[in-house]
Structure 1
Amino acid sequence: MEYESYQMSNSMNGYSHRTHSRNGGMDEYMMQEHIDSMNAQLSSTRAQRIRAAIFPETLEDGTSDGLSLSMPSTQFVNGQPTAVQKLSEPSQLLKNAVIDIINYKEDAEITEKALPELIRLLNDDDPIVAGQAALILHTLAKKEASRLALSTPQMIQALIQAISNPRANDETRRGIAGVLYCLSQQKQGLLLMFKGGVIPLLVRLLDSSIESVVNYSLSTLHNLLLHIEQAKLEILRCGGCQKMVGLLNSTNPKFLAILTDCLHMLAFNNEEVKIIIESSNGPQQLLRILELTDYEKLLWTTTRLLRVLSVSPSIKLVMISKNSVHILEKQLYDPKSLRVQQNCLQILRNLSDQAVKLENLDSLIQLLIELLQTNDLITVSCSVGIISNLTCNNQYNKMAVVQSNGVNALINTVIQGHDKEEILEPAICALRHITSRHSHASEAQDAVRHVNGLLPIVDLLNPSLYSWPIIKSTISLIRNLALSPNNLSVLRETGSIQKLAQLLVRSHQELQRQQPNIELIDNYIRMDDILEACVSALHIIAKDQQNRIIIRDLDCIPLFVRLLYPPSNVAIQRAAAGVLCELVNDRLCADIIEQQNCTQKLTELLKSNDEGVATYAAAILFRLSDDKPYDMKNRLSQDVTTALYRDEHLMTNHYGLANGSVGGSYSNPYRGTPPPIHDVPTMNYYASEGAGGSGLGSLMDNQVLVGDRDMMQASPRSGTHRQTPPSSHNNPQMAAWFDTDL
């Protein structure tokens, strides 16, 4: 810049010399004065530019030393900012930081010096003086430096003493509650308050008639719950949970969001708190909030709390009775956020095993089927879990799924989620439910084939890739699908018979190793369950002549015969007798069966207490006696007649065994199709405070009610249900629920 001024000065001096030569000394004098003024102006503009960039507060009204700031810059560097301009921003930041440090130190020092006097005034006998001191402390606590200076044990004890004073007025209480809230925003303050015994005081303040005091107290308790693990037990000991539930009738959405979050932290993995909330009418209040509010954060905290509560069996029933399913369904149509939608789905999944008897769920089922097409893992796993539970033992819901194109959606879910067990298992269970025991079951069985779903299902019979619960449910589904004659050839082509035979042999070998103590696998599956499932599925598949040939060639018949003997349980005996009853229709298979020397055992089974076993044994013996001498056939006929006609009326009504049907030629006494695998609700895996688990299925002809452990047995002969105490085999110990905060 000095170089520029110098060049300009020289130029002007040259001009002045020429002018002087023409016009005289007066013109030269005036020109020199103008040049000196311009040089001074340029020099002042440079200094002012620097001052304006780095210390703008030193300028007044945009001028300095009488010079205008409108003077244009003399520096141009190809349109780029100059060095002064680059320096201006960091210099301002540095200056502000220095000022903040000075102010911070001053705030802390002033507060520290004033603290003894403020404590004295806070405990003054005059309520007005104490109130003013509390307000001053509240003002100081809003600043970080002052707040650190106030975080002392003496200050905490003074606050407790002042607010506990019966003469304390509303102003004092409001100010002290505000101070405690400000102190709770720092770790040091939280620790001092917890150790100083502030929690009982805060719980008492929840009863205050002053709204701001209640707000401050709850917010402070919320911060303690968030950051001090031991605070939960102290709050419960002081009865804080009951008082919080009593505040749910508030109409302030932001207050309710903090309140429900506090209750969530208290109830998480704590059955005692859930009981307290239930007894205090908490679930009803939460459902009311859910129905009335549209504040997203409150919806999220409320549904998160309900997700935790909905695991409790008693709270499930309360929520269902209060129309919770339809309230939650409304939230799914226009969710405020994905996290709210996920919470609602998880609550519905937790409730769905108890909601199976509800009516008018068609719209919900349709919505759930649509949600199966989303890309969110939690949404899909919850939706398919709800469908699985709602279709358990509910013919109407089964038909609703089939009529809503649910078969296609479920098959696509199986294909898309082939590597995600939390999706696979409920999807297979849902397909198992809708393919049996309702008027559209055959339509569902054929629909699986129409959408090319048989091969993906059979591919799941791979123990090296999938868990035993999935394999067990898949075997049950294949058994149901085999009830459709049109599926038998496709099942044969997919290699299902070979895979079932491999699983049959493997499960039998494992059982032999485990005897006499049968172990649980994957927490609740037993190998005899897998064995029974395989035999039951092969029983239905063996209705096809070509399938019988494959089973015969796989050398499975000796194993079926062996399963008629102990230590096999009655269910396995019944399944083995059933498959032999089908295989005996093939002459070569009948010869192999007879070569196993099982006639005596079959004769013993005629007297079995299980009518299904006795009926199957009779059918096998009749078929084996076709080419026997008349005396042997007649003697066998008498034995069978004596054994089977213990209940003639039952036999006539259910099996068509009228007098004279037992005779020389073979007539299958088990008319009709053996019952399909009954619906079994997935284990509440689906009922968890957070995420999922796995399904539970019984592969015997048992009916598990829509509950976790109630078992019903269906007699193959009578076709009616009678309740029996669940055995240890039929009722394996369920996996424990666990809390998961998503």
Structure 2
Amino acid sequence: MHHQMPPHPMHHPQHPLLSNQLQPINPETHTSMWLDDPYNVSNAPASQRDSGFNSRPASLRSIDSAVTNTTGPIHHGPTTPAGYEQLPPPLPPDHENMHPQYAEMQPANAPLSRPDPNQVIPELLTLLMEDDPVIVREAITVTQMLVKEGGDARSEVIRNRDLIIALLESFSKDVGDGKIIYALASLFHSLSQQQEGLRAILECSGIPRLIQILDSPDNIVNFVITTLHNFLIVLQEQSANEIDRVNGTQSFIHLLQSANDKLLTLVSDCLLKMTSYNLNSKLYIQNSEECLQRLLHIFDTSKYDKLLLTISKLFPIISSGNEVIKKLFLQYNALSIFEKQIKTTKSIRIRHNCLIALRNISDQATRMRDVDSLIQQLTGIVVTDDQQSVLCSLGILSNLTADNRTNKSLLVKLNGVQGIMQRLMMNADGNDDIIEGALCTLRHVTARHDFENEAREAVRKSYGIGNIIKLLRDKNFKEHWGIIKASVGLIKNLALSPSIIPQLCEQNAVRRLIELLVNVDRERMKLYEENRHQYLHQFDVMIELIVGALNNFAKDLSCKTIIKETNVVAIFVRYSHLPSCSLQQISSNLLKELNIDRDRVQSSDSSSYQQSYNNTLIDSRHNRQ
């Protein structure tokens, strides 16, 4: 078969990728940086110089292409370098003068002697009194040079109070372009880097002037806020009182609308320091809805770690205020914002601050809905080794489960009871705060919801009942009132399950409760005799809890026998004769459970004490979980 030879590939010299001809440079699209080589002395036209994208001359590229490219298309025409570009013309004879980098170094002029500050400062004072803003700005610039020079020059400026006052008065000479204000802000920022400079500004009433220009553009505000921040770092209470006197805290809060993260960091730290050094400012910040709203918005949207850390330090302070501000936290979605930060942040300090703030506001969040993910996250934190996070998480869980059936059931479903019992038994260092938080949460979840039986069984299966009862023996109720109260409440709830009562009795729970009742009752009588009636209410609450727990135990025959054998029946009779109150009712119920007729029992102290006791009793009505 006859085969036709394929046609020879045609050459398209007009295509830039196929042609070796140099393409002319388009000055409108090509950056000049490729042509700014000071060492290139070629005077060839632009169309004949390399564009910079290829480092070798075009003639070399052409030769390589002609020699090595044996399989590509055949190029017609001359193959010498002259066929592609013209040779550059010879260098001009004065080319060295065209490039000063090749010139010999000339000796520098001798520096002028510096003027004496003592001679310059009087002249500066005179110039600052001028009405011409250009002259005033030049005087400020010279003063700035003296300050930056340091040494005696800076010291003379700082010591001259007349000069400082004149500079402060120059703020009013700005003509609206901000140039004088900017120069002064920069100058006072330089002065604030020295403690003596700060004192000079403070003594000359400079802080009010600086506060007045906080509504300036960011380039000025950056200097001013840094200066005020230096004041709060060095002079602390003294400067904080002056800032508060001229309503500087409000000005700081207005600056929270800025979009500059670094500026916001300085402003937030100024607010933080104001809460530490000035009580009025602390109260103002704690009650400022604008401040809280802006801080939460920034905390939710910013990614700048220093800013997030600084703001997180403010939240525990603000959240420790009154109920109104706590409800504002909830209104502005603080639970979700804090939860997100706890989950995503890598900073343990930010996590701690968020947890502390959550613990502070959680007592107002017992009715909040859609907190399932938060409870799940807190349940996971409880079993970690971070003591601070564990402590805060237990406090939050205790509040969220205090009077919320849904949250109680959710915690049980998430195996939170097992985790809390594990934490309670692992608390080797005996941290009382962790013990109390764990006991309070367990007390809440073991009663009054659909999964209360499961919660009580989880406590029993955790083999921790002995540890709980042991607290009644080891802890003095005067020093550990919260722990004892929570322990009694938890034991009372556990006794609601008949299957758990035998295990409680094995650990001498009934006898421990009776011993505690005798001691608390004795202390209460002593308080009454000392006329310290303001403390009687909390003792009534404790006694009511103990009697309520014994009431649950009395449903078991063996426990009923133990109670009758002790010498506390007279106490129950005495309380059953009180005016109508919750303690009187529960004492009467216990006597009925024990099959004891209170009218036939003679109380050892039923006469004069009973009458006066009834007259001074504080009603023990309170909400128990």
Residue by residue over 1:453-495, the C-alpha shift from the partner in whole angstroms, topping out at 9 and shown as x without a partner, is 2112112213438511211121111101111111101111112
* Residues 1:220 and 2:227 aligned together: yes
Aligned-partner Cα distance in 2 for 1:406–1:520: 38
Gaps of 5+ in 2: 1-112, 607-617
Give the corresponding residue for 1:126: 132
| 1:305 alignment partner, one of 289, 297, 314 | 314
Aligned ranges for residues 198-217 of structure 1 at < 5 Å?
198-208=206-216, 210-217=217-224
| 1:248 alignment partner, one of 241, 256, 269 | 256
Q: Is the 8 A contact 2:286 2:319 kept in 1?
A: no
Aligned-partner Cα distance in 1 for 2:176–2:121: 20
Give the corresponding residue for 1:400: 410
Aligned-partner Cα distance in 1 for 2:490–2:409: 17
Shift of 1:189: 1.7
Percent identical across equivalent pairs?
Answer: 34
* Residues 1:157 and 2:165 aligned together: yes
Residues 447 and 539 (structure 1 numbering): CA distance in 2 closer, same or farther, change over 3 Å? same
Q: Is the 8 A contact 2:208 2:243 kept in 1?
A: yes
Residues 148 and 424 (structure 1 numbering): CA distance in 2 closer, same or farther, change over 3 Å? farther
Give the corresponding residue for 1:703: 623
Aligned-partner Cα distance in 1 for 2:184–2:138: 11
Query: Residue type of the partner of 1:328?
Result: F
SS in structure 2 at match of 1:172 = helix
Cα-Cα RMSD? 2.8
Aligned-partner Cα distance in 2 for 1:277–1:120: 47
* Residues 1:582 and 2:588 aligned together: no
Give the corresponding residue for 1:509: 522
Residues 493 and 149 (structure 1 numbering): CA distance in 2 closer, same or farther, change over 3 Å? farther
Q: Is the 8 A contact 2:327 2:364 kept in 1?
A: yes
Aligned-partner Cα distance in 1 for 2:117–2:411: 69
SS in structure 2 at match of 1:212 = helix
| 1:498 alignment partner, one of 497, 511, 514 | 511
Shift of 1:545: 0.8
Aligned-partner Cα distance in 2 for 1:123–1:252: 36
Shift of 1:114: 3.4
Q: Is the 8 A contact 2:510 2:550 kept in 1?
A: yes
| 2:553 alignment partner, one of 521, 534, 541 | 541
Aligned-partner Cα distance in 2 for 1:473–1:144: 65
* Residues 1:475 and 2:484 aligned together: no
Residues 569 and 500 (structure 1 numbering): CA distance in 2 closer, same or farther, change over 3 Å? farther
Q: Is the 8 A contact 2:570 2:602 kept in 1?
A: no
Give the corresponding residue for 1:427: 438
Residues 199 and 553 (structure 1 numbering): CA distance in 2 closer, same or farther, change over 3 Å? same
Aligned-partner Cα distance in 1 for 2:620–2:468: 21
Give the corresponding residue for 1:56: none
Q: Is the 8 A contact 2:517 2:543 kept in 1?
A: yes
Between stretches 326-335 and 271-280, larger displacement belongs to: 271-280
Residues 176 and 311 (structure 1 numbering): CA distance in 2 closer, same or farther, change over 3 Å? same
Between stretches 249-258 and 142-151, larger displacement belongs to: 142-151
| 1:178 alignment partner, one of 183, 186, 193 | 186
Gaps of 5+ in 1: 1-105, 585-589, 602-697, 706-742
SS in structure 1 at match of 2:438 = helix
* Residues 1:289 and 2:294 aligned together: no
Residues 203 and 390 (structure 1 numbering): CA distance in 2 closer, same or farther, change over 3 Å? same
Give the corresponding residue for 1:411: 421
Aligned-partner Cα distance in 1 for 2:460–2:466: 9
Residue by residue over 1:377-406, the C-alpha shift from the partner in whole angstroms, topping out at 9 and shown as x without a partner, is 321111111111111111111111111111
Shift of 1:373: 2.3
Residue by residue over 1:227-280, the C-alpha shift from the partner in whole angstroms, topping out at 9 and shown as x without a partner, is 321222322221212222111111111110110111222345746654467556
Aligned-partner Cα distance in 1 for 2:183–2:425: 62
SS in structure 2 at match of 1:460 = helix
Aligned ranges for residues 638-657 of structure 1 at < 5 Å?
none
TM-score between both structures, scaled by the size of structure 1: 0.62
Shift of 1:338: 1.0
SS in structure 1 at match of 2:623 = strand
Aligned-partner Cα distance in 2 for 1:476–1:325: 29
Aligned-partner Cα distance in 1 for 2:450–2:286: 43
Aligned-partner Cα distance in 2 for 1:518–1:573: 22
Aligned-partner Cα distance in 2 for 1:200–1:337: 37
List structure 1 segments (4+ residues) > 4 angstroms apart after TM superposition: 109-113, 166-169, 271-280, 518-521, 698-701
Aligned ranges for residues 38-53 of structure 1 at < 5 Å?
none
* Residues 1:554 and 2:566 aligned together: yes
SS in structure 1 at match of 2:350 = helix
Aligned-partner Cα distance in 2 for 1:143–1:407: 68
Q: Is the 8 A contact 2:573 2:601 kept in 1?
A: yes
Aligned ranges for residues 91-130 of structure 1 at < 5 Å?
111=117, 114-130=120-136
| 2:543 alignment partner, one of 525, 531, 534 | 531
TM-score between both structures, scaled by the size of structure 2: 0.73
| 1:317 alignment partner, one of 327, 334, 353 | 327
| 1:238 alignment partner, one of 246, 249, 262 | 246
Residues 447 and 704 (structure 1 numbering): CA distance in 2 closer, same or farther, change over 3 Å? closer
Q: Which has the higher contact order (CA 8 A, sep 6+)?
A: 1
Residue by residue over 1:552-591, the C-alpha shift from the partner in whole angstroms, topping out at 9 and shown as x without a partner, is 222322322222234x77222222112212222xxxxx48
Give the corresponding residue for 1:135: 141
Give the corresponding residue for 1:375: 385
Aligned-partner Cα distance in 2 for 1:129–1:328: 54
Residues 427 and 701 (structure 1 numbering): CA distance in 2 closer, same or farther, change over 3 Å? farther
Aligned ranges for residues 336-351 of structure 1 at < 5 Å?
336-351=346-361
Q: Is the 8 A contact 1:122 1:129 kept in 2?
A: yes
Q: Is the 8 A contact 1:242 1:277 kept in 2?
A: no
Shift of 1:224: 1.7
Aligned-partner Cα distance in 2 for 1:280–1:142: 42
Residues 271 and 193 (structure 1 numbering): CA distance in 2 closer, same or farther, change over 3 Å? closer
Aligned-partner Cα distance in 2 for 1:385–1:191: 45
Residue by residue over 1:509-529, the C-alpha shift from the partner in whole angstroms, topping out at 9 and shown as x without a partner, is 1122222535566xx973222
SS in structure 2 at match of 1:281 = helix
